[in-house]
A and B are shown apart, each in its own frame.
Chain A
Amino acid sequence: MTRLLLEKRWVQLGLLLTLLASAVYYWGWVFDFGYTFDWSVLFTVNKTYGEHYGLLLLMGVCWTVVISLVSAVAALGLGICFGLGRVSQFRPVFWLSTAYVEFFRNTPLLVQLLFWYFAFPMALPEGAREVVFGFQVTFATFLPTWLEWMLPAWLADMHFGFEFMTAVIGLSAYTGAFMAEVIRAGLQSIPKGLLEAAYSSGLTYPQVLRKIILPVAFRAIIPPLGSEFLNNMKNSSLAMFVGVAELAWSSQQVESMTFRGFEAATAASALYLTLSLVISAVLNAVNVKLRVGQTTCTPGERLLRRVVDPLCAGCELATRPARRLLERAAAHRRAARGMTYSPARAALNSAAARTWGLLVLAAKAAFLAALAFVLYSAARGLWNFNWAVIADNFRTMLIWRLPTDDPSEIMGGTGGLAMAILMAVIAITASFPLGLLAGLGRTSSNLLLRVPSTLYIEIIRGNPLIMVIFWVYFFIPVLTGTFLHVFWSATIALTVFTGAYLAEIVRAGVQNIPPGQFEAAFSTGLSYYRVMRHIILPQALKQMIPPIVGQFIAIFKDTSLAYVLGVMELTNVTMVLNNRLMIYPIEMYTTAAFLYFVCCYAMSTYARRLELRLSPERQSLHM
């Protein structure tokens, strides 16, 4: 009876609304936060400092948007270059691209940013450093003088200096590595027959690349590429550590100036969520527009189509004369070229081809020379490292022991790499059941399960990890009345964060199983639990292993963010040591990056082997 009732949509909706109402009532009126809310800080001028903190937050949004846009474009460029490099026949290019991708994917963004900001300029000669530090650009620089009146004061006020440049370089190098992998996968997914057909019809490699490979590949990779754009926007929150006043920074500023942490964090989270939603909407629109062959649309997609289609039609109509003109010119050129070559023309053509070949050869030689130079200077730099400093502090970076019986230590004074691993292991273990539940909840047809799961997943995924860390840190004490060691609050934040990503992996895995299997299983009379336990999850989990391991690597890198709470993990230990030694930032940050890299690379290598062993094609060989 209850089950039958629960399957009714109106019952589910009613229960959800009741739950919502009681939650609002409980948190709004009954529960004592020990804290009085004052939302006016967000829309009034603060009397003590004479500053409007709501405007400051909006200014933070501007910075986040600008950084995200610039670094996304740069990352896409890097991704295309190195993605093509990863499928190159020319070995040195392949090696360079592989090294780039593996290195930048497997070290935490925070460590990279700190390296670019604090260590890299030290490696430059004095004169170059002056130039780099003197870098200063504004929006007005790009506009002709007679158009400057168009810039509103707040836009004209944005100065892009060394901090901005570091953030952009760090972000785009990091995101670019991920995009390169996405692009490589897209390129390699192109059917061989298509390429053979293209080459046999007489197209040259650049033509094939431009007309066949890139269009086909890009259509396939738009969804994963889109999520990289989204990640890039969220990762821009780390720019606050190199002194860029973006959204996370501004929310911190509001918090430390007015002590209104809850209000500031709520506003920042809402703004991040809005940005994420806008980006997803744009990406979905592109996706819907470019998709071929699929006619069924969800209601959301239909809505998007209704907005996008007229827009696209308008664009097409507007550009039509220009396109016509181009087409006609091309047709003229084709007609003029004729079908046969004169001997002189043929000689010219072959000469051009030979010159081109020589040019390619020269370019390869130049590339090799440049690579050799980079390797030589890197080796010389390494040779000149103060290895004694690294040797002295290596043990501390691995395990870090505080003096005993200090109440602020945890796990007997563990820290450094050991603590990072410990946090990652706990977060991974605890987030797995969470992700499984939320992921299954999201695939459920019951609104009571689906709505909360979806809310959890989307809210967490729409926010950067740093915001999740702040939320957990400040609000577990308020809600529970207990104080957790910072280690625990960071680990809980990591768990909650990973859970949402795992849930999406689980959902994709479950939805990949043919629906016929569900129907067959249910029709044999198995319950939902047993269907999942014995039929669906064993198959789905096998498919999920590569993305899950990818998530685990991500979470290991993300432990570096616990440094904001003062957890003594590897990044924080590096900073403390660097702080005391003062003059060896390159040595310290390189060592930290190396340690992270070794762990992540080992994990990803293992994942690749596991994937091979578990893939169905391989398994059938053993039978």
Chain B
Amino acid sequence: MKLSKIVALACLAALMTASAALAGPAWDNIEKTKVLRVGLMTDSIPGAFYNDKKEWVGMDVDMAEELAKRLGCTLERVAVNNKTRIAFVQQGRIDVSIANMTHKRERDKSIDFSITYFFDGQKLLAKKGQFTKWEDFVGKKIATMQGTTSEINIKNLLKELGDADADKNVISFQKESECYQALKMGRVAAWTTDSTILLGYAAQDPGQFELVGDFFSNEPYGMGLPEDDSKLRDAVNFAIQDMWADGTYMQIYNKWYGPDTPYAFPMTEQIEMWP
């Protein structure tokens, strides 16, 4: 009887230590602990991913490190995916989510966003030399990720182009990697999501895939922040602006998207119109 009680207590203690800090107003918590908890993706190349040395790298990771440095905190990296990135911010599990998040009004009902720190748009990735414009994809199968704005955008685009079966032709997977696999094995004619993600995957098989057509959506990326915590939001916004002003941002950008990288992605106008 006694033994079982001790075991139960030990288990409880183990559970408690395994859990992280309690939820609370994020800014006060950051001030107190000097730890910035940032949610990052694990399979978004080149945003945030595990490289072949099993290191967690990417543009978002560098942004997170720079942000923590400027806020005078140590960085705690928390793995998130497209299902958990908003829930974690809502629950207070993380302070900032830097995870390919398009700033959308529907999302703003649940969490707050920083100013835009990256500007992307949605495109279609397909096998090289088979397609030239959007219209070529009418009636073809297209892969995308479940529960993303990309899913809605592509359905709307196909409907606009006159595809009667738009809803059926869009196949939604759980992960980007699954979409890419489906494209590779020829299950779908194209995979659509934000173009940088597509570039990241296409760079794995150089010369086999290409982006087709123009952007068909604007995807201003913001950092996800807890609702109604204006001190944190200010601090993050100022940090991003300072990074832009002193050139650190361009350094990070060129490291991942510069002309010499496999993911070369020219800086667009929208991002240069920053304050």
Which A residues are closer than 8 A to B by beta carbons?
34-35, 48-49, 118, 121-122, 129-130, 133, 157, 159, 161-163, 240-241, 243, 245, 249, 252-253, 255-259, 261, 401-403, 406-408, 410, 430, 474, 477-478, 481-485, 488, 564-566, 575-576, 578-580, 582-583, 585
Contact = CB atoms under 8 A, between A and B. Distances in A.
B186 A133 contact: yes
Nearest to A136: B168
Interface stretch (B176-184, B237-245, B260-268): B176-184
Contacts of B204: 582
22 contacts: A35-B90, A48-B105, A241-B178, A252-B146, A253-B172, A255-B83, A256-B82, A256-B147, A261-B87, A406-B56, A474-B87, A478-B91, A481-B22, A481-B23, A482-B16, A482-B19, A488-B19, A566-B42, A566-B81, A575-B175, A575-B177, A578-B177
Contacts of A34: 23, 91
The 4 A-B residue pairs with the shortest CB-CB distance, nearest first, are: A256-B147, A482-B19, A579-B177, A48-B106
Interface stretch (B72-80, B210-218, B249-257): B72-80
Contact of B172 (A243, A259, A401): A243
Interface residues of B, number: 59
B147 A252 contact: yes
A337 B94 CA distance: 85
Nearest to B109: A259
Interface stretch (B25-33, B47-55, B116-124, B127-135): B47-55
A566 B109 CA distance: 26
Contacts of A240: 174
Contacts of A130: 186
Contacts of A118: 178, 181-182, 185
Interface in B1-52: 11, 15-16, 18-23, 42-43, 50, 52
A477 to B, nearest CB: 5
Contact of A403 (B54, B83, B110, B148): B54
B185 A121 contact: yes
A481 B175 CA distance: 29
B64 to A, nearest CB: 13
Interface majority SS on A: helix, strand, loop or mixed?
A: helix
Contacts of A257: 106, 147
Among B50, B109, B178, the most chain A Cβ lie within 10 Å of the Cβ of B178
A245 B172 CA distance: 8
A133 B91 contact: no
Contacts of B181: 118, 578, 585
A402 B84 CA distance: 21
Given A48-B104, A483-B19, A579-B43, 9 more contacts: A118-B178, A159-B168, A241-B174, A252-B147, A257-B147, A407-B77, A408-B77, A566-B81, A576-B43
Contact of A477 (B82, B93, B167, B182): B93
Contacts of B231: none
B78 A408 contact: yes
A505 B17 CA distance: 34
Contacts of A401: 54
Q: Which of A130, A245, A430 has the most CB of B within 10 A?
A: A245
Contacts of A261: 87
Given A34-B23, A48-B106, A159-B168, A488 B78 contact: no
Contacts of A249: 146, 172
Nearest to B188: A133
B50 to A, nearest CB: 7
Contacts of A48: 104-106
A507 to B, nearest CB: 23
Contacts of A35: 90
B63 interface: no
B148 A256 contact: yes
Contact of A483 (B11, B20, B56, B104): B20
B23 A259 contact: no
A243 B173 contact: yes
B143 to A, nearest CB: 8
B19 A259 contact: no
A243 B171 contact: yes
B174 to A, nearest CB: 6
A258 B90 CA distance: 13
A434 to B, nearest CB: 12
Contacts of B69: none
A565 B171 CA distance: 21
Contacts of A566: 42, 79, 81, 84
B161 interface: no
Contacts of B19: 482-485, 488
A175 B20 CA distance: 40
A82 B189 CA distance: 39
Contact of B184 (A159, A256, A403, A582): A582
A130 to B, nearest CB: 8
B18 A121 contact: no
Contact of B147 (A161, A253, A576): A253
Contacts of A582: 180, 184, 204-205
Interface in B101-115: 104-107, 109-110
A376 to B, nearest CB: 25
Nearest to B37: A407
Contacts of A478: 91
A261 B171 CA distance: 22
Nearest to A38: B109
B125 interface: no
A34 B227 CA distance: 12
Contacts of A133: 186-187
B71 interface: no
Nearest to A122: B185
B271 interface: no
Given A243-B171, A403-B54, A407-B77, A162 B147 contact: no
Nearest to A402: B54
B77 A485 contact: no
B18 A485 contact: yes
Contacts of A159: 165, 168
A507 B177 CA distance: 44
Interface string B202-225: 001100000000000000000000
A407 B165 CA distance: 46
B185 to A, nearest CB: 5
B77, B81, B110, B146 — which one has the most chain A CB atoms within 10 A of its CB? B146
A317 B50 CA distance: 68
Nearest to B51: A580
Nearest to B152: A49
A579 B42 CA distance: 12
B185 A484 contact: no
Contacts of B83: 252, 255-256, 564
Contacts of A482: 16, 19-20, 22
B86 interface: yes
A245 B77 CA distance: 33
B78 A407 contact: yes
A430 B106 CA distance: 41
B26 to A, nearest CB: 13
Contacts of B22: 481-482
Given A256-B147, A257-B147, A403-B54, A477 B91 contact: yes
Most B CB atoms within 10 A — which of A243, A255, A478? A243
A423 to B, nearest CB: 14
Contacts of A258: 106
Contacts of B105: 48
Nearest to B205: A582
B171 A129 contact: no
Contacts of B175: 575
A157 B148 CA distance: 23
